[in-house]
Amino acid sequence: MSKFWKIVIVAACIGLIYGAIETMMMRLFEIDLDVWYAQLLFMWLVAIICIYIWQKSEGSPK
């Protein structure tokens, strides 16, 4: 699989997970994520998790 498609898939995962977390947080805890730093923090958190999972799957033993 080309690098382009991997990046597209990772970006899609980040978008989906971020949307799900944001919705869940708003429903459960009534947290207002309109605050820019809260959104920034969540995006970083989700991106780090996705990159970690991606690196794990890439790093399969040869």
CA-CA distances (angstroms) from residue 55 to 3, 23, 25, 52, 58?
A: 13, 27, 27, 5, 5
Give the SS3 label for residue 45: helix
Task: List the domain boundaries for the chain.
Answer: 3-57
Per-residue pLDDT, 62: 45
Q: What is this structure's pTM?
A: 0.40
Q: What is the pLDDT of residue 36?
A: 64
Contact 18, 42 (CB under 8 A): yes
Q: Tens digit of pLDDT per residue, the chain (62 long)? A: 688 888 788 888 788 887 887 777 777 766 565 666 677 777 788 888 878 887 888 765 54
Contact 24, 53 (CB under 8 A): no
How high is the pLDDT of residue 33? 54
